[in-house]
Amino acid sequence: MSNGQWKKELESEELLKIIFDYAGRMTSENNLDRLLLLMADMGRDMTVADRCILWLYDNYSDELWAKVADGKKEIRVPAESGLAGYVYQTSEPLVIEDVYQDERFLADVDHTMGYRTKSVMAIPLKNKQNQTLGVYQVSNKLTREALFTPHDVTNLSLAASYTAQALEAVLMNTEMEEAQKEIIFKMGEIGEVRSKETGAHVKRVAEYAKLLAIKAGFSEEEADLIKVASPMHDIGKVAIPDAILNKPGKLSEEEFLAVQEHANIGYHLLENSKRSILKAAAIIAKEHHEHWDGKGYPEGLSGESIHIYGRIVAVADVFDALATDRPYKKAWEMKRILTHFKKERGKQFDPVLVDVFLANANDFLQIKEKYVDQRAK
């Protein structure tokens, strides 16, 4: 950095402006990744640093993890290693002039991020109960002196006190959402197990559905909603008698109509929920057996009158049914599956989604190979 590029220390008014600006934005943020990046930006600006990383403790893996850059890249280190690990374990601030002279520094993190760290300041991030949630770490002071000071420790501690409460609220909400997703997935498994399917089926369908949604142009957020809701697509099977559901031979017309009723049953189980995930699941449960040409069930809907969520899961569900062994059939070869989807383009399936599927068939195969049925191993 040349002399003309040095930054000056913040005046009190500038510091307050940064606090108020970020505090307002963080109060309304309920996405963990975006909140972590906001917190990191706040810490960087308050200390006149080049970079800031917010490390959080993962008690399941005993690691510290952080989102960097655009929030998509995640790095993890053991909770007792590196400078962040030292601060997490000791709950004491740390200021270092040249990290490459300190044996605790993990140079691999620099290599991963394509960065060169020199000076570092790190402080513990604590909640109101004085529990350490993680570590604030800023790198490379941008003033002429290029050194972090006790005043910077005070400023970063101030940032931590402002952000810890918002972080804890989002972490709690995230935990509740994860619990909800797990319950939905387990409920989906129940419906599949009754018809002799495995938990791997609902995993695969969920992954296929998200992939298809992303490739069809949906946002990451909506694609995730479809993924999380899709395991409930056959939940209505819980009300179908075993004698019909698992009949080895051909179903009578009356029995086939009884099986078809699982779409309406699933919908009615879920339709009154105010939760966005369960509302999406209700739509998927009812409409993933509808056909583009109107010859599906339960309503005989056609074309775009079928909700896009149902159309997406229809492709995902049928692909998995064809690509894996079932009690009544062996898995089809990929060539035969592709031929089937080309034949049913504009008949059973949305033609646009079939084109997307065909263009990304190899990605679908990779998901199939990743989530193999336990009984198939």
Residue 121, domain CATH: 3.30.450.40
- Domain contains 181: no
Domain range for residue 267? Answer: 195-376
Choose among 298, 284, 275, 297: nearest CA to 210: 284
Longest dimension (CA), the chain: 85
Percent residues over pLDDT 70 in the chain: 89
Task: Express each pLDDT in 125-137 by its tens digit.
Answer: 888 788 888 899 9
- Domain contains 242: yes
Identify whether residues 20 and 138 lie together within a single domain.
yes
- Domain contains 190: no
Q: How far apart are CA 151 and CA 98, in angstroms?
A: 19
First-last CA distance in the chain = 58
Task: Give me 24's structure tokens.
Answer: 């307002």
Q: How far apart are CA 208 and CA 125, in angstroms?
A: 38
285 and 233 Cβ atoms separated by less than 8 Å: yes
Task: Express each pLDDT in 39-98 by its tens digit.
Answer: 888 889 989 999 898 898 998 899 999 877 654 578 899 999 999 999 999 999 999 999
Question: Which residue(s) pair with 120 in the sheet?
Answer: 96, 139
Q: How far apart are CA 52 and CA 54, in angstroms?
A: 7
Burial 126-153 (b: 16+ CB within 10 A, else e): beeeeeebbbbbbbbbebeeeebeeebb
What is the reported pLDDT for 2?
Answer: 46
What is the reported pLDDT for 377?
Answer: 43
Identify whether residues 257 and 109 lie together within a single domain.
no
Report whether pLDDT(292) > 90: yes
Burial 295-323 (b: 16+ CB within 10 A, else e): ebbbeebeeeebbbbbbbbbbbbbbbbbb
Identify whether residues 141 and 66 lie together within a single domain.
yes
Identify whether residues 161 and 205 lie together within a single domain.
no
Identify whether residues 114 and 223 lie together within a single domain.
no
Q: Considering 141, 227, 237, 368, which one is annotated as catalytic? A: 237
Identify whether residues 16 and 136 lie together within a single domain.
yes
Identify whether residues 13 and 139 lie together within a single domain.
yes
More confident residue, 34 or 332: 332
- Domain contains 333: yes
What is the reported pLDDT for 72?
Answer: 56
Identify whether residues 156 and 208 lie together within a single domain.
no
- Domain contains 188: no
Identify whether residues 228 and 158 lie together within a single domain.
no
- Domain contains 36: yes
Identify whether residues 319 and 235 lie together within a single domain.
yes
Identify whether residues 155 and 292 lie together within a single domain.
no
Average pLDDT, the chain: 86
Concerning whether 215 is annotated as a catalytic residue, the answer is: no
Residue 310, domain CATH: 1.10.3210.10
Q: How many structural domains is the chain composed of?
A: 2
What does residue 254 show for φ and ψ, rounded to 5 degrees? -65, -40
- Domain contains 291: yes
Identify whether residues 289 and 248 lie together within a single domain.
yes
- Domain contains 158: yes
What is the reported pLDDT for 374?
Answer: 56
